[in-house]
Amino acid sequence: MKITSALLFFLLLLWPITVHAEEQPTHNTDLDIMYQKIATYDFRDDTVLPLQKNVLTAYSKDGTETADLAMKADPVPLETVWTIAFLRNPDLEAMRQMIRARAEMYPQVMAIEALAAQNRSFLQGINTRTSMTVMNESPELLFPGPGILSFNGRLAHLEVEMAMQEYTMKLRDIGADLLALCAERESYRKSLLVLSDMLRLFSAFEDSLKTRFVTNQAMYPEVARFQAERARMIAERETMKRMMDSFLARINHLLGRPTLAPIGNVRLPHPSKTPDFNSSLDEALEHRQELHIQRLTIDILQTLSQLKHRATLSPLSPGFAYPKPAMEDMSEKGRMTKKKIIPDPLIVYRQTFRTEPSAGLSNNYQEQIAFLRELDHRIKAEEAREEEMKNDTSARLADALAEYTNSLLKETTERKKVLPILQQGLESTTASFRTGKVSFLEWLELFMKVLQSKLDVIQYSASAFKSLAEIHMLRGTLR
Protein backbone atom coordinates (compact mmCIF):
# COMPACT_ATOMS: atom_id res chain seq x y z
CA MET A 1 0.00 0.00 0.00
CA LYS A 2 2.81 2.40 0.87
CA ILE A 3 4.60 1.57 -2.41
CA THR A 4 1.43 2.23 -4.42
CA SER A 5 0.95 5.59 -2.72
CA ALA A 6 4.56 6.55 -3.42
CA LEU A 7 4.25 5.64 -7.12
CA LEU A 8 1.02 7.58 -7.39
CA PHE A 9 2.65 10.64 -5.79
CA PHE A 10 5.63 10.33 -8.16
CA LEU A 11 3.33 10.15 -11.21
CA LEU A 12 1.44 13.20 -10.05
CA LEU A 13 4.72 15.10 -9.82
CA LEU A 14 5.61 14.12 -13.39
CA TRP A 15 2.17 14.88 -14.81
CA PRO A 16 2.73 18.61 -15.63
CA ILE A 17 5.89 17.61 -17.54
CA THR A 18 4.29 14.92 -19.67
CA VAL A 19 1.18 16.79 -20.82
CA HIS A 20 1.35 18.72 -24.08
CA ALA A 21 1.61 22.50 -23.95
CA GLU A 22 -1.83 23.03 -25.46
CA GLU A 23 -3.39 20.82 -22.78
CA GLN A 24 -2.01 22.77 -19.85
CA PRO A 25 -4.65 24.77 -18.03
CA THR A 26 -4.59 28.52 -18.58
CA HIS A 27 -4.52 30.92 -15.67
CA ASN A 28 -7.94 32.53 -15.53
CA THR A 29 -6.71 35.89 -14.27
CA ASP A 30 -8.17 39.31 -15.06
CA LEU A 31 -5.27 40.17 -17.32
CA ASP A 32 -5.48 36.86 -19.21
CA ILE A 33 -9.17 37.45 -19.83
CA MET A 34 -8.44 40.97 -21.02
CA TYR A 35 -5.77 39.77 -23.44
CA GLN A 36 -8.11 37.11 -24.80
CA LYS A 37 -10.80 39.72 -25.35
CA ILE A 38 -8.42 42.01 -27.25
CA ALA A 39 -7.14 39.08 -29.31
CA THR A 40 -10.69 38.14 -30.36
CA TYR A 41 -12.09 41.69 -30.56
CA ASP A 42 -13.65 42.38 -33.95
CA PHE A 43 -12.46 45.86 -34.84
CA ARG A 44 -14.93 45.96 -37.72
CA ASP A 45 -17.80 46.17 -35.21
CA ASP A 46 -20.58 45.26 -37.64
CA THR A 47 -23.18 46.38 -35.12
CA VAL A 48 -22.08 49.98 -35.77
CA LEU A 49 -20.91 50.06 -39.37
CA PRO A 50 -21.98 47.63 -42.13
CA LEU A 51 -18.92 46.64 -44.14
CA GLN A 52 -18.68 44.73 -47.41
CA LYS A 53 -16.90 41.45 -46.75
CA ASN A 54 -16.03 40.90 -50.42
CA VAL A 55 -14.19 44.23 -50.51
CA LEU A 56 -12.43 43.40 -47.25
CA THR A 57 -11.31 40.04 -48.62
CA ALA A 58 -10.25 41.43 -51.99
CA TYR A 59 -8.31 44.27 -50.45
CA SER A 60 -6.47 41.95 -48.07
CA LYS A 61 -5.43 39.78 -51.05
CA ASP A 62 -4.82 42.23 -53.88
CA GLY A 63 -3.95 45.42 -52.02
CA THR A 64 -4.51 49.02 -53.05
CA GLU A 65 -5.41 48.44 -56.70
CA THR A 66 -8.55 46.50 -55.89
CA ALA A 67 -9.73 49.18 -53.46
CA ASP A 68 -9.10 51.93 -56.04
CA LEU A 69 -11.02 50.01 -58.70
CA ALA A 70 -13.93 49.61 -56.31
CA MET A 71 -13.99 53.37 -55.72
CA LYS A 72 -14.11 54.12 -59.48
CA ALA A 73 -17.29 52.12 -60.07
CA ASP A 74 -20.48 53.91 -61.11
CA PRO A 75 -22.31 53.98 -58.86
CA VAL A 76 -20.26 53.25 -55.74
CA PRO A 77 -22.32 51.81 -52.85
CA LEU A 78 -21.90 53.80 -49.66
CA GLU A 79 -20.99 50.54 -47.89
CA THR A 80 -17.92 50.29 -50.15
CA VAL A 81 -16.84 53.78 -49.10
CA TRP A 82 -17.24 52.79 -45.43
CA THR A 83 -15.23 49.61 -46.00
CA ILE A 84 -12.32 51.47 -47.61
CA ALA A 85 -12.35 53.95 -44.72
CA PHE A 86 -12.13 51.09 -42.21
CA LEU A 87 -9.18 49.61 -44.08
CA ARG A 88 -7.19 52.76 -44.77
CA ASN A 89 -8.10 55.56 -42.34
CA PRO A 90 -4.93 56.39 -40.34
CA ASP A 91 -6.84 57.53 -37.24
CA LEU A 92 -8.66 54.21 -36.97
CA GLU A 93 -5.39 52.29 -37.30
CA ALA A 94 -3.77 54.51 -34.65
CA MET A 95 -6.64 53.86 -32.24
CA ARG A 96 -6.47 50.11 -32.87
CA GLN A 97 -2.80 50.17 -31.90
CA MET A 98 -3.54 52.36 -28.86
CA ILE A 99 -6.01 49.77 -27.56
CA ARG A 100 -3.27 47.16 -27.68
CA ALA A 101 -0.76 49.59 -26.17
CA ARG A 102 -3.07 50.49 -23.30
CA ALA A 103 -3.52 46.82 -22.49
CA GLU A 104 0.27 46.37 -22.30
CA MET A 105 0.66 49.15 -19.74
CA TYR A 106 -1.01 47.41 -16.85
CA PRO A 107 1.20 44.36 -16.26
CA GLN A 108 4.07 46.82 -15.97
CA VAL A 109 2.19 49.10 -13.59
CA MET A 110 1.05 46.26 -11.38
CA ALA A 111 4.52 44.75 -11.24
CA ILE A 112 6.09 48.12 -10.40
CA GLU A 113 3.49 48.75 -7.70
CA ALA A 114 4.12 45.40 -6.10
CA LEU A 115 7.89 46.04 -6.05
CA ALA A 116 7.36 49.54 -4.71
CA ALA A 117 5.12 48.20 -1.95
CA GLN A 118 7.74 45.66 -0.94
CA ASN A 119 10.38 48.37 -0.88
CA ARG A 120 8.18 50.67 1.24
CA SER A 121 7.42 47.97 3.74
CA PHE A 122 11.09 47.03 3.99
CA LEU A 123 12.36 50.58 4.49
CA GLN A 124 9.61 51.57 6.90
CA GLY A 125 10.04 48.32 8.79
CA ILE A 126 13.66 49.30 9.42
CA ASN A 127 12.59 52.66 10.86
CA THR A 128 9.73 51.26 12.96
CA ARG A 129 11.32 51.83 16.37
CA THR A 130 13.09 55.08 15.59
CA SER A 131 10.77 57.05 13.32
CA MET A 132 7.13 57.12 14.45
CA THR A 133 6.13 59.85 11.97
CA VAL A 134 6.80 57.65 8.98
CA MET A 135 4.57 54.94 10.36
CA ASN A 136 1.32 56.90 10.41
CA GLU A 137 0.24 55.22 7.18
CA SER A 138 -2.49 52.60 7.00
CA PRO A 139 -0.97 49.11 6.94
CA GLU A 140 -2.65 48.36 3.60
CA LEU A 141 -0.48 51.06 2.05
CA LEU A 142 2.59 49.22 3.30
CA PHE A 143 1.38 45.70 2.54
CA PRO A 144 -1.08 45.85 -0.38
CA GLY A 145 -2.85 42.54 -0.43
CA PRO A 146 -4.51 40.68 -3.32
CA GLY A 147 -7.65 42.77 -2.95
CA ILE A 148 -5.94 45.95 -4.07
CA LEU A 149 -4.20 44.25 -6.97
CA SER A 150 -7.56 42.89 -8.11
CA PHE A 151 -8.85 46.47 -8.09
CA ASN A 152 -5.96 47.35 -10.37
CA GLY A 153 -6.99 44.51 -12.65
CA ARG A 154 -10.52 45.93 -12.80
CA LEU A 155 -9.12 49.36 -13.61
CA ALA A 156 -7.18 47.76 -16.47
CA HIS A 157 -10.38 46.22 -17.79
CA LEU A 158 -12.26 49.51 -17.60
CA GLU A 159 -9.47 51.45 -19.30
CA VAL A 160 -9.38 48.99 -22.19
CA GLU A 161 -13.20 49.03 -22.41
CA MET A 162 -13.07 52.81 -22.63
CA ALA A 163 -10.44 52.63 -25.38
CA MET A 164 -12.69 50.24 -27.32
CA GLN A 165 -15.67 52.57 -26.93
CA GLU A 166 -13.56 55.52 -28.10
CA TYR A 167 -12.50 53.49 -31.13
CA THR A 168 -16.12 52.55 -31.89
CA MET A 169 -17.14 56.20 -31.57
CA LYS A 170 -14.42 57.18 -34.06
CA LEU A 171 -15.60 54.45 -36.44
CA ARG A 172 -19.17 55.74 -36.12
CA ASP A 173 -18.15 59.39 -36.63
CA ILE A 174 -16.15 58.59 -39.76
CA GLY A 175 -19.10 56.65 -41.19
CA ALA A 176 -21.52 59.49 -40.44
CA ASP A 177 -19.12 62.12 -41.83
CA LEU A 178 -18.74 60.12 -45.03
CA LEU A 179 -22.52 59.90 -45.38
CA ALA A 180 -22.88 63.68 -45.01
CA LEU A 181 -19.89 64.48 -47.26
CA CYS A 182 -21.00 62.10 -50.01
CA ALA A 183 -24.50 63.58 -49.85
CA GLU A 184 -23.04 67.09 -50.25
CA ARG A 185 -20.82 66.01 -53.14
CA GLU A 186 -23.76 64.31 -54.86
CA SER A 187 -25.86 67.44 -54.41
CA TYR A 188 -23.20 69.55 -56.13
CA ARG A 189 -22.84 66.99 -58.92
CA LYS A 190 -26.59 66.95 -59.59
CA SER A 191 -26.83 70.73 -59.27
CA LEU A 192 -24.01 71.08 -61.78
CA LEU A 193 -25.91 68.93 -64.30
CA VAL A 194 -29.10 70.94 -63.77
CA LEU A 195 -27.29 74.25 -64.09
CA SER A 196 -25.48 73.17 -67.26
CA ASP A 197 -28.76 72.07 -68.88
CA MET A 198 -30.54 75.27 -67.91
CA LEU A 199 -27.59 77.35 -69.12
CA ARG A 200 -27.81 75.72 -72.57
CA LEU A 201 -31.54 76.45 -72.68
CA PHE A 202 -30.93 80.01 -71.55
CA SER A 203 -28.18 80.65 -74.14
CA ALA A 204 -30.49 79.47 -76.95
CA PHE A 205 -32.46 82.70 -76.53
CA GLU A 206 -29.46 84.93 -77.24
CA ASP A 207 -29.96 85.14 -81.04
CA SER A 208 -33.69 85.76 -80.66
CA LEU A 209 -33.07 88.51 -78.11
CA LYS A 210 -30.46 90.22 -80.35
CA THR A 211 -32.86 90.17 -83.30
CA ARG A 212 -35.53 91.77 -81.15
CA PHE A 213 -33.09 94.39 -79.97
CA VAL A 214 -32.09 95.29 -83.55
CA THR A 215 -35.75 95.59 -84.59
CA ASN A 216 -36.55 97.68 -81.50
CA GLN A 217 -38.80 94.96 -80.07
CA ALA A 218 -36.54 94.63 -77.03
CA MET A 219 -34.92 97.29 -74.90
CA TYR A 220 -31.28 97.42 -73.75
CA PRO A 221 -32.18 96.62 -70.08
CA GLU A 222 -33.44 93.23 -71.27
CA VAL A 223 -30.17 92.52 -73.09
CA ALA A 224 -28.16 93.68 -70.07
CA ARG A 225 -30.21 91.47 -67.75
CA PHE A 226 -29.65 88.50 -70.06
CA GLN A 227 -25.89 89.01 -70.09
CA ALA A 228 -25.73 89.50 -66.29
CA GLU A 229 -27.76 86.36 -65.51
CA ARG A 230 -25.70 84.24 -67.90
CA ALA A 231 -22.45 85.50 -66.32
CA ARG A 232 -23.80 84.60 -62.88
CA MET A 233 -24.81 81.10 -64.01
CA ILE A 234 -21.37 80.47 -65.56
CA ALA A 235 -19.66 81.66 -62.36
CA GLU A 236 -21.96 79.45 -60.26
CA ARG A 237 -21.11 76.46 -62.44
CA GLU A 238 -17.38 77.01 -61.89
CA THR A 239 -17.99 77.38 -58.15
CA MET A 240 -19.82 74.04 -58.08
CA LYS A 241 -16.91 72.35 -59.86
CA ARG A 242 -14.47 73.65 -57.25
CA MET A 243 -16.80 72.59 -54.42
CA MET A 244 -16.93 69.08 -55.87
CA ASP A 245 -13.13 68.96 -55.80
CA SER A 246 -13.19 70.24 -52.21
CA PHE A 247 -15.58 67.53 -51.05
CA LEU A 248 -13.64 64.93 -53.02
CA ALA A 249 -10.51 65.93 -51.08
CA ARG A 250 -12.33 65.71 -47.73
CA ILE A 251 -13.73 62.28 -48.56
CA ASN A 252 -10.34 60.98 -49.70
CA HIS A 253 -8.81 62.33 -46.50
CA LEU A 254 -11.10 60.06 -44.46
CA LEU A 255 -10.36 57.19 -46.82
CA GLY A 256 -6.58 57.56 -46.51
CA ARG A 257 -6.27 58.08 -50.29
CA PRO A 258 -4.54 60.76 -52.41
CA THR A 259 -6.35 64.09 -52.30
CA LEU A 260 -7.83 64.07 -55.80
CA ALA A 261 -8.07 60.31 -56.33
CA PRO A 262 -11.21 59.70 -58.42
CA ILE A 263 -14.42 58.45 -56.83
CA GLY A 264 -17.50 57.40 -58.75
CA ASN A 265 -21.02 58.61 -58.05
CA VAL A 266 -21.92 57.37 -54.57
CA ARG A 267 -25.25 55.57 -54.23
CA LEU A 268 -26.82 56.79 -50.99
CA PRO A 269 -29.23 54.43 -49.20
CA HIS A 270 -32.71 55.77 -48.50
CA PRO A 271 -34.30 54.64 -45.20
CA SER A 272 -37.29 52.38 -45.71
CA LYS A 273 -39.25 54.45 -43.19
CA THR A 274 -38.87 57.64 -41.22
CA PRO A 275 -37.06 56.95 -37.93
CA ASP A 276 -39.36 57.01 -34.90
CA PHE A 277 -38.39 59.18 -31.93
CA ASN A 278 -39.12 56.66 -29.17
CA SER A 279 -37.32 53.75 -30.85
CA SER A 280 -34.41 56.02 -31.83
CA LEU A 281 -34.11 57.29 -28.26
CA ASP A 282 -34.08 53.73 -26.92
CA GLU A 283 -31.27 52.86 -29.35
CA ALA A 284 -29.36 55.99 -28.38
CA LEU A 285 -29.57 55.25 -24.65
CA GLU A 286 -28.42 51.69 -25.30
CA HIS A 287 -25.76 52.15 -27.98
CA ARG A 288 -24.47 55.73 -28.00
CA GLN A 289 -20.76 55.56 -27.30
CA GLU A 290 -20.57 58.84 -25.37
CA LEU A 291 -22.99 57.44 -22.79
CA HIS A 292 -20.97 54.22 -22.51
CA ILE A 293 -17.79 56.22 -21.98
CA GLN A 294 -19.49 58.30 -19.30
CA ARG A 295 -20.65 55.15 -17.49
CA LEU A 296 -17.13 53.74 -17.70
CA THR A 297 -15.79 57.00 -16.26
CA ILE A 298 -18.13 56.56 -13.29
CA ASP A 299 -17.08 52.91 -12.92
CA ILE A 300 -13.40 53.90 -12.94
CA LEU A 301 -13.96 56.52 -10.23
CA GLN A 302 -16.01 54.11 -8.14
CA THR A 303 -13.33 51.43 -8.46
CA LEU A 304 -10.64 53.93 -7.54
CA SER A 305 -12.72 55.01 -4.55
CA GLN A 306 -13.09 51.39 -3.42
CA LEU A 307 -9.36 50.86 -3.83
CA LYS A 308 -8.48 53.96 -1.80
CA HIS A 309 -11.06 53.11 0.86
CA ARG A 310 -9.53 49.64 1.16
CA ALA A 311 -6.03 51.10 1.40
CA THR A 312 -6.78 54.05 3.68
CA LEU A 313 -9.56 52.72 5.91
CA SER A 314 -8.56 49.10 6.14
CA PRO A 315 -10.01 47.08 9.04
CA LEU A 316 -7.86 46.70 12.13
CA SER A 317 -5.80 43.52 11.95
CA PRO A 318 -3.06 42.61 14.43
CA GLY A 319 -1.61 40.40 11.72
CA PHE A 320 0.04 43.48 10.20
CA ALA A 321 1.83 44.40 13.45
CA TYR A 322 5.56 44.62 13.13
CA PRO A 323 7.49 41.90 14.96
CA LYS A 324 9.61 43.38 17.70
CA PRO A 325 12.25 41.58 19.72
CA ALA A 326 11.48 40.74 23.31
CA MET A 327 12.49 43.52 25.69
CA GLU A 328 14.22 43.08 29.05
CA ASP A 329 12.15 43.68 32.17
CA MET A 330 13.94 46.59 33.86
CA SER A 331 12.17 46.14 37.22
CA GLU A 332 14.16 44.89 40.24
CA LYS A 333 12.56 41.46 40.03
CA GLY A 334 13.16 41.35 36.30
CA ARG A 335 16.87 42.17 36.71
CA MET A 336 17.26 39.39 39.21
CA THR A 337 15.44 36.78 37.10
CA LYS A 338 16.65 38.21 33.76
CA LYS A 339 13.10 37.77 32.47
CA LYS A 340 12.15 39.23 29.08
CA ILE A 341 8.81 40.78 28.11
CA ILE A 342 7.15 39.84 24.80
CA PRO A 343 4.87 42.74 23.72
CA ASP A 344 1.27 42.12 22.72
CA PRO A 345 1.12 42.40 18.86
CA LEU A 346 -2.19 44.30 19.02
CA ILE A 347 -0.68 46.90 21.35
CA VAL A 348 2.35 47.22 19.10
CA TYR A 349 0.08 47.68 16.10
CA ARG A 350 -1.93 50.44 17.79
CA GLN A 351 1.18 52.21 19.00
CA THR A 352 2.89 51.93 15.64
CA PHE A 353 0.00 53.10 13.44
CA ARG A 354 -1.82 55.32 15.94
CA THR A 355 -5.30 54.00 15.38
CA GLU A 356 -6.88 56.33 17.94
CA PRO A 357 -9.48 58.94 16.81
CA SER A 358 -8.70 61.84 14.51
CA ALA A 359 -6.85 63.90 17.13
CA GLY A 360 -3.87 61.63 16.67
CA LEU A 361 -3.98 61.39 12.88
CA SER A 362 -1.08 62.63 10.82
CA ASN A 363 -1.41 65.20 8.06
CA ASN A 364 -0.71 62.50 5.51
CA TYR A 365 -3.64 60.44 6.72
CA GLN A 366 -5.90 63.48 6.66
CA GLU A 367 -4.90 64.07 3.05
CA GLN A 368 -5.97 60.52 2.23
CA ILE A 369 -9.39 61.11 3.83
CA ALA A 370 -9.78 64.40 1.93
CA PHE A 371 -8.98 62.57 -1.31
CA LEU A 372 -11.70 60.02 -0.55
CA ARG A 373 -14.22 62.80 -0.03
CA GLU A 374 -13.08 64.41 -3.29
CA LEU A 375 -13.65 61.13 -5.13
CA ASP A 376 -17.17 60.85 -3.71
CA HIS A 377 -18.03 64.34 -4.96
CA ARG A 378 -16.51 63.61 -8.35
CA ILE A 379 -18.61 60.47 -8.69
CA LYS A 380 -21.78 62.42 -7.92
CA ALA A 381 -20.74 65.09 -10.44
CA GLU A 382 -20.18 62.49 -13.16
CA GLU A 383 -23.52 60.84 -12.39
CA ALA A 384 -25.24 64.21 -12.77
CA ARG A 385 -23.33 64.75 -16.02
CA GLU A 386 -24.58 61.39 -17.28
CA GLU A 387 -28.18 62.50 -16.74
CA GLU A 388 -27.43 65.75 -18.56
CA MET A 389 -25.96 63.79 -21.48
CA LYS A 390 -29.12 61.68 -21.69
CA ASN A 391 -31.28 64.80 -21.74
CA ASP A 392 -29.03 66.42 -24.33
CA THR A 393 -29.17 63.28 -26.49
CA SER A 394 -32.96 63.30 -26.33
CA ALA A 395 -33.20 67.00 -27.28
CA ARG A 396 -30.68 66.75 -30.13
CA LEU A 397 -32.39 63.62 -31.42
CA ALA A 398 -35.75 65.42 -31.49
CA ASP A 399 -34.18 68.33 -33.41
CA ALA A 400 -32.47 66.03 -35.92
CA LEU A 401 -35.65 64.03 -36.52
CA ALA A 402 -37.65 67.22 -37.01
CA GLU A 403 -35.07 68.56 -39.46
CA TYR A 404 -35.04 65.24 -41.32
CA THR A 405 -38.82 65.11 -41.60
CA ASN A 406 -39.05 68.75 -42.65
CA SER A 407 -36.38 68.31 -45.32
CA LEU A 408 -38.17 65.29 -46.78
CA LEU A 409 -41.48 67.16 -46.76
CA LYS A 410 -39.96 70.18 -48.50
CA GLU A 411 -38.23 67.98 -51.08
CA THR A 412 -41.44 66.08 -51.84
CA THR A 413 -43.54 69.24 -52.04
CA GLU A 414 -41.07 71.02 -54.29
CA ARG A 415 -40.54 68.04 -56.59
CA LYS A 416 -44.15 66.85 -56.92
CA LYS A 417 -46.19 70.04 -56.60
CA VAL A 418 -44.22 73.24 -57.10
CA LEU A 419 -41.78 72.24 -59.85
CA PRO A 420 -44.37 70.70 -62.25
CA ILE A 421 -46.48 73.86 -62.09
CA LEU A 422 -43.49 76.10 -62.74
CA GLN A 423 -42.28 73.95 -65.63
CA GLN A 424 -45.71 73.99 -67.23
CA GLY A 425 -45.83 77.77 -66.84
CA LEU A 426 -42.35 78.13 -68.38
CA GLU A 427 -43.32 76.08 -71.42
CA SER A 428 -46.40 78.25 -71.95
CA THR A 429 -44.43 81.47 -71.43
CA THR A 430 -41.73 80.32 -73.86
CA ALA A 431 -44.32 79.86 -76.61
CA SER A 432 -45.82 83.28 -75.82
CA PHE A 433 -42.37 84.89 -75.89
CA ARG A 434 -41.66 83.51 -79.37
CA THR A 435 -44.90 85.00 -80.65
CA GLY A 436 -44.19 88.32 -78.95
CA LYS A 437 -47.05 88.13 -76.43
CA VAL A 438 -44.78 88.39 -73.33
CA SER A 439 -41.56 90.28 -72.73
CA PHE A 440 -38.15 88.70 -72.13
CA LEU A 441 -38.11 89.86 -68.50
CA GLU A 442 -41.41 88.06 -67.83
CA TRP A 443 -39.98 84.88 -69.35
CA LEU A 444 -36.69 85.34 -67.46
CA GLU A 445 -38.44 85.64 -64.10
CA LEU A 446 -40.24 82.34 -64.58
CA PHE A 447 -37.07 80.69 -65.94
CA MET A 448 -35.11 81.63 -62.82
CA LYS A 449 -37.91 80.25 -60.59
CA VAL A 450 -37.76 76.91 -62.39
CA LEU A 451 -33.98 76.81 -61.99
CA GLN A 452 -34.18 77.63 -58.30
CA SER A 453 -36.90 75.03 -57.74
CA LYS A 454 -34.77 72.30 -59.32
CA LEU A 455 -31.79 73.28 -57.17
CA ASP A 456 -33.99 73.38 -54.05
CA VAL A 457 -35.14 69.80 -54.65
CA ILE A 458 -31.50 68.68 -54.68
CA GLN A 459 -30.59 70.79 -51.63
CA TYR A 460 -33.53 69.53 -49.55
CA SER A 461 -32.50 65.95 -50.33
CA ALA A 462 -28.90 66.64 -49.22
CA SER A 463 -30.18 68.31 -46.05
CA ALA A 464 -32.23 65.19 -45.27
CA PHE A 465 -29.14 62.98 -45.59
CA LYS A 466 -27.12 65.28 -43.32
CA SER A 467 -29.89 65.11 -40.70
CA LEU A 468 -29.91 61.32 -41.11
CA ALA A 469 -26.17 61.25 -40.43
CA GLU A 470 -26.78 63.25 -37.22
CA ILE A 471 -29.49 60.78 -36.18
CA HIS A 472 -27.09 57.88 -36.77
CA MET A 473 -24.42 59.55 -34.65
CA LEU A 474 -26.86 60.12 -31.79
CA ARG A 475 -28.11 56.52 -31.97
CA GLY A 476 -24.55 55.15 -32.01
CA THR A 477 -25.11 52.99 -35.07
CA LEU A 478 -25.26 53.58 -38.83
CA ARG A 479 -27.37 50.55 -39.59
pLDDT of residue 338: 59
Q: What does the pLDDT average to over 190-197? A: 95
In this prediction, residue 270 has a pLDDT band, given cuts at 50, 70 and 90, of confident
The widest CA-to-CA distance across the chain, in whole angstroms, is 146
User: Which of 251-255, 316-320, 346-350 bottoms out in mean pLDDT, i.e. has the lowest?
Assistant: 316-320
Higher pLDDT among residues 303 and 360, named by residue = 303
What's the pLDDT tens digit per position in 50-98? Answer: 888 888 887 776 667 777 788 888 899 999 999 999 989 999 999 998 8
Higher pLDDT among residues 374 and 453, named by residue = 453
Number of Cβ within 10 Å of residue 318's Cβ equals 12
pLDDT of residue 371: 83
Instruction: Classify domain 26-262+275-314+360-475 at the CATH topology level.
Output: Outer membrane efflux proteins (OEP) (1.20.1600)
State the average pLDDT for the chain. Answer: 77
Determine the distance from the C-alpha atom of residue 337 to the mean position of all C-alpha atoms in its chain, rounded to a whole number. 77
Kindly tell me if the per-residue pLDDT of 19 is higher than 50.
no
User: Which of 73-87, 203-217, 345-359, 388-402 bottoms out in mean pLDDT, i.e. has the lowest?
Assistant: 345-359
Would the CA dihedral through 267, 270, 272, 276 be positive or negative?
A: positive
pLDDT of residue 23: 38
**C-alpha separations of 400 from 279, 282, 396 in Å:** 14, 15, 6
Q: What does the pLDDT average to over 194-219? A: 77
pLDDT of residue 452: 95
What is the percentage of the chain residues whose pLDDT exceeds 70?
Answer: 68
DSSP-derived secondary structure for 331-345: SHHHHHHT-EE---H
Tell me phi and psi for residue 341, to 5 degrees: -100, 130
In this prediction, residue 39 has a pLDDT band, given cuts at 50, 70 and 90, of confident
**C-alpha separations of 244 from 3, 133, 238, 262 in Å:** 89, 72, 10, 11
In this prediction, residue 407 has a pLDDT band, given cuts at 50, 70 and 90, of very high
pLDDT of residue 432: 87
pLDDT of residue 357: 44
Higher pLDDT among residues 109 and 189, named by residue = 189
pLDDT of residue 127: 47
In this prediction, residue 454 has a pLDDT band, given cuts at 50, 70 and 90, of very high
Q: What does the pLDDT average to over 26-43? A: 67
In whole angstroms, what is the distance from residue 209 CA to residue 136 CA? 100
Kindly tell me if the per-residue pLDDT of 130 is higher than 90.
no
What's the pLDDT tens digit per position in 341-367? Answer: 555 555 554 555 444 444 444 456 677
pLDDT of residue 365: 65
In whole angstroms, what is the distance from residue 125 CA to residue 323 CA? 9
Among residues 385, 391, 384, 387, the alpha carbon closest in space to that of 474 is found at 391
User: Which of 248-257, 329-338, 398-407 bottoms out in mean pLDDT, i.e. has the lowest?
Assistant: 329-338
Kindly tell me if the per-residue pLDDT of 131 is higher than 80.
no
pLDDT of residue 318: 39
Higher pLDDT among residues 42 and 394, named by residue = 394
Q: Which residues of 443-464 are buried (b: 16+ CB within 10 A; e: fewer)?
A: bbebbbbbbebbbbbbbbbbbb
What is the percentage of the chain residues whose pLDDT exceeds 90?
Answer: 41
In this prediction, residue 234 has a pLDDT band, given cuts at 50, 70 and 90, of very high
pLDDT of residue 107: 65
In whole angstroms, what is the distance from residue 394 CA to residue 414 CA? 30
Kindly tell me if the per-residue pLDDT of 163 is higher than 80.
yes
Kindly tell me if the per-residue pLDDT of 115 is higher than 70.
no
pLDDT of residue 222: 76
Among residues 127, 164, 174, the alpha carbon closest in space to that of 322 is found at 127
Whether the bond between 75 and the residue before it is cis, its omega within 30 degrees of 0, is: yes
